[in-house]
Amino acid sequence: MIRLLALLVLLVSSPALAQGLKAPKDLVRASLVAEPAGVRAGETFWLAVRMAMKPGWHVYWRNPGDSGLPPEVVWTLPAGFSAGAIRWPAPERIPVATLMNYGYEGKAVLLVPVTPPPSLDPASPVRLAAKLSYLVCETECVPGAADLALTLPVARDAVPDPAARDLFARAREALPVPSPWPARLSREGDSLVLNLDAAGLRPETFGKAAFFPYSETALDNAAEQALAVDASGIHLTLTRANPAEPVPATLPGVLTIEQDTGSGPVRRALAIGEEAAPPASSQIPAGAAPAPPAVASDEAPTLLAAALLAFLGGLVLNLMPCVFPVLSIKVLGLVKHAGERPERVRLHGLAYTAGVLASFLLLAGLLIALKGGGAGLGWGFQLQSPVFVAALAYLLLAMGLSLSGAVHLGGRVAGIGDGLTRRAGLEGSFFTGVLATVVATPCTAPFMGTAVGFALTQSAPAALLVFAGLGLGLALPFLLLTLWPAALRLLPRPGAWMDVLKQALAFPVYATVAWLVWVLAQQVGPQGLLAALFGLVLVGFAAWAWERGRDSAALPARAARGLAVLALVGAAAIGLTLGQDRATAAAGMRAEGVEPFSQARLDALLAEGRPVFVNMTAAWCITCQVNERIALSTEAVRAAMRAKGVAYLKGDWTNQNPEITRLLERHGRSGVPLYLLYGGRAEPHVLPQILTEGGVLGWLERIGTERSAAEGISGKG
């Protein structure tokens, strides 16, 4: 059993785990500073989140580059106050080994606008508090957090605080400004060229340049960026992350250029593309709305409510097609034990429950540790690895072959196929719980999304409690069947029908293998898929050779089993190469009238005032595929979107995508599906995880009504 758990760890872990769960205080010193000495009712003012890093350490920009996480601020403000989005200063390129990160060394000042309500009580000072979370890195990374707060009096005039004047002036100087020159993209082979049409420049005055895209998946961050300045303007050559994808129409981001002005080099930061630059003045005009918050203000459940939701989600998981075949096999095994002492049967139920709980807690611990170390992961993260998907397909194929009688696996391989239903070993029950957990991770049942998303924002003990609730829900039906002896008497007596049913249960397992191969087809290219299919052939050959060795003499038996082991080694070697041949589905999505999701594209569409539907999905998410088929791909829904001018963005989380992970986290989710509908209000509607065609049409009609109402109010104004 220890070996099996070690195998699970190896399959789902990454090369580097978190180095710690809390940053030493000397790595980052954080503080909150207000620009005015007092707050005036209805007048937006600025706060600064100031971070000073230990020499050699850095924090991250909004797009962290190849690794890392940007700082996040969660505000606790008085009633009626609202905080806008962070204004990010221009970052630096920070090489770490073979990676390229975008961030800040030494110090960083993040500006945030805050708008008070129209009226304030002059006798009640205003207390502003924030929870700052960050990842600080040298060669290793350490997560950290700081509780920041300050109190300001209510004033008739919001006079700037002289002590903060220089801080805010320098912070504004570090912000990107709109480019004075029009920007366009051109293609040169597999590279992009960012062109700024600026005639009359003196090429000899320009030094280094760097472009920082808002999109986290657009460029090869570590590649060299070659600058050329000529009579037509500025040209920066960029290497694309995936040359197979269509060339983007725009690439919003920040361009930094060093230019000699005669009195020394000056670094200029230019905002390129669709995002508007923040205001340069110290005040926002009264009544102007700040940008939407960086973190959505969805209601978060209490710990007890989250644990209850997780428990209900675990119960529903038993009915999911990825779990039901495994559970059916174990219930079939109970029939053989129906005549045993009730104490022994209860032990099987407890062993199964222990396997489920141990696996859920192990997965939760890994997920918490990896997220703490800077990885952008969520529920089902291991299925973003083609290596893990192939390993699971190999395991289930072996299990199906055993159920079909092609190979007989003894108690030493407890829990696989026949070993689940033969003998009285408790290891079989324990490992069935492990296997049920592994195959449950592609599924997101109702109630699960909110609970797991909440868990991953809490302390480690609280998160483990929620995951334990999820595991208990998954294990409970089988556990109750073993704890209640009367239920066992309702099961039919053992007989020949069991072999027939056991063989029939192999076919849902084979169907799961076929589905996993389809998932691989979304993750890897044709060569990788062919390699995975050859791996399945080797698993089948290993089963055949192993079985032939059972009835042979000593020497032929050893040779046959040696061939079986070599075939399994070959299958494992093939599986380990699958991540090198990645596929892209962007072109196919565009052909369907659906655009690939990027945060920059979402921001651009919202700036245009267009309604937007965002679909966060993954090939391995069964709930997502069902919703796609019965609700989102129907002609009625597509026609309604076209009629209302709704832009459709699809985020594919089949492979790791940090932009999708961040959007999920902003809405309190740790996995897919997530459906967002932006209409006539600042915050999106979060649609249910289980969709129907009628339900989606109703939501589309609702945002049409909201937009009409908003336009009517705007017209009256």
pLDDT tens digits, 208-235: 899 999 988 889 999 999 999 888 889 9
- Report the topology of domain 20-172: Immunoglobulin-like (2.60.40)
pLDDT in tens, 243-302: 877 777 788 999 999 888 777 788 999 999 754 444 444 444 333 333 333 333 334 456
48/51 Cα distance (integer angstroms): 9
What span, in angstroms and rounded, lies between the C-alpha atoms of 440 and 211? 42
Secondary structure of residue 267 in the 3-state scheme: strand
- Per-residue pLDDT of 456-486, as tens digits, reads 556 678 778 888 888 888 888 888 877 876 6
Percent of the chain with pLDDT over 70: 74
Taking the model in full, what pTM does it have? 0.54
pLDDT score recorded for residue 589 = 53
587: pLDDT strictly greater than 50: no
Are the beta carbons of 568 and 561 closer than 8 angstroms? no
Among candidates 248, 246, 228, 250, which has minimal Cα distance to 237? 228
Separation of alpha carbons 338 and 348, rounded Å: 11
Distances 633 to 246, 619, 652 between C-alpha atoms, Å: 23, 15, 16
Residue 488 has φ and ψ, to the nearest 5°, of -65, -30
Mean pLDDT (the chain, rounded): 76
Q: What was the pLDDT predicted at 379? A: 56
Render pLDDT for 337-382 as a digit per residue (tens, 0 to 9). Answer: 555 677 777 888 888 888 888 888 887 777 667 655 545 555 555 6
The tens digit of pLDDT for each residue in 386-399 reads: 877 788 788 778 87
Give CA–CA dist 60/498, Å, rounded.
59
CA-to-CA distance for 442 and 378, rounded, in angstroms? 11
The number of angstroms, rounded, from the C-alpha of 505 to the middle of its chain's C-alpha atoms is 34
Fold category of 586-716 in CATH: Glutaredoxin (3.40.30)
Confidence of residue 45 (pLDDT cuts 50, 70, 90): very high
- Strand-pair partners of 226: 237
Give exposure, 557-593, as e/b (b: 16+ Cβ within 10 Å): eeebbebbeebbebbbebbebbbebebbbbeebeeee
Q: Which of 708, 395, 374, 372 shows the shortest CA–CA distance to 543?
A: 395
In this prediction, residue 227 carries a pLDDT of 92
* Contact between 311 and 301 (Cβ < 8 Å): no
Got the DSSP string for 595-632?
EEP-HHHHHHHHHTT--EEEEEE-TT-HHHHHHIIIII
Q: Are 59 and 51 in contact (CB under 8 A)?
A: yes
For 21-28, what is the mean pLDDT?
67
Instruction: With cut-offs at 50, 70 and 90, classify the pLDDT of residue 532.
Output: confident
pLDDT-based confidence at residue 2 (cuts at 50, 70, 90): very low
How far apart are the C-alpha atoms of 94 and 67, rounded to whole Å? Answer: 11
For residue 361, how many other CB atoms are within 10 A of its CB? 17
CB 120 within 8 A of CB 81: no
Query: At residue 446, does pLDDT exceed 60?
Result: no
Q: How confident is the model at residue 383 (pLDDT cuts 50, 70, 90)?
A: low
By the 8 A CB rule, do 330 and 416 touch? no
The CA distance from 632 to 692, in Å, is 8
Higher per-residue confidence, 192 vs 518 = 192
Strand partners, 275: none
pLDDT of the residue at 160 = 86
Give the whole-angstrom CA distance, residue 278 versus residue 177.
Answer: 8
**Domain 20-172 matches domain 178-272 at the CATH topology level:** yes
Q: pLDDT (tens digit, 9 = 90+) per residue, 169-204? A: 999 999 999 988 889 888 888 889 999 988 777 887
Where on the phi/psi map is residue 262: left (φ > 0), alpha (ψ -120 to 50), or beta? left
Q: Which pLDDT value is given to residue 294?
A: 36
580 contacts 587 by C-beta, under 8 angstroms: no
Asked if residue 707 has pLDDT above 70, the reply is: no
Distance CA 632, CA 673 (A): 13
**Domain assignments of the chain as residue spans, ordered by start:** 20-172, 178-272, 303-382+410-504, 586-716
What is the C-alpha to C-alpha distance for residues 286 and 298, in angstroms, rounded to an integer? 27
Per residue in 387-414, is it b (16+ CB within 10 Å) or e — as a string? bbbbbbbbbbbbbbbbbbebbebeeebb
Q: What is the mean pLDDT of residues 413-429?
A: 49
Residue 331 has pLDDT above 90, yes or no: no
For the cut 70, the answer to whether the pLDDT of residue 47 exceeds it is yes
Pairwise CA distance, residues 691 & 688, whole Å: 6
Tell me the C-alpha distance between 696 and 694, whole Å: 6
Q: What is the pLDDT of residues 681-700, one digit of tens each?
A: 557 888 988 888 888 998 88
Q: What does CATH list as the number for 178-272?
A: 2.60.40
**Top-ranked range on mean pLDDT: pick from 313-322, 448-457, 529-538:** 529-538
Residues 497-507 have pLDDT tens digits of: 666 767 777 78
Q: Is pLDDT above 90 for 528? A: no
7 has pLDDT over 60: no
Q: What is the pLDDT of residue 149?
A: 94
Per-residue pLDDT at 167: 94
Measured over the CA atoms of residue 552, residue 553, residue 559 and residue 564, the dihedral's sign is positive
Taking only the tens place, the pLDDT of each residue in 97-126 is 788 999 999 999 999 999 999 888 888 899
Segment 25-41 shows an average pLDDT of: 90
Would the pLDDT of 14 be above 50? no
Reading the block at residue 122, the tokens are 């002059």
Predicted confidence band at 526 (pLDDT cuts at 50, 70, 90)?
confident
Own/partner pairs, 410-418, CB within 8 angstroms, 24+ separation: 414/1, 415/4, 418/502
For position 15, what pLDDT does the model report?
A: 36
Long-range contacts of the stretch 459-462 (C-beta < 8 A, 24+): 460/21, 460/365, 460/368, 462/303
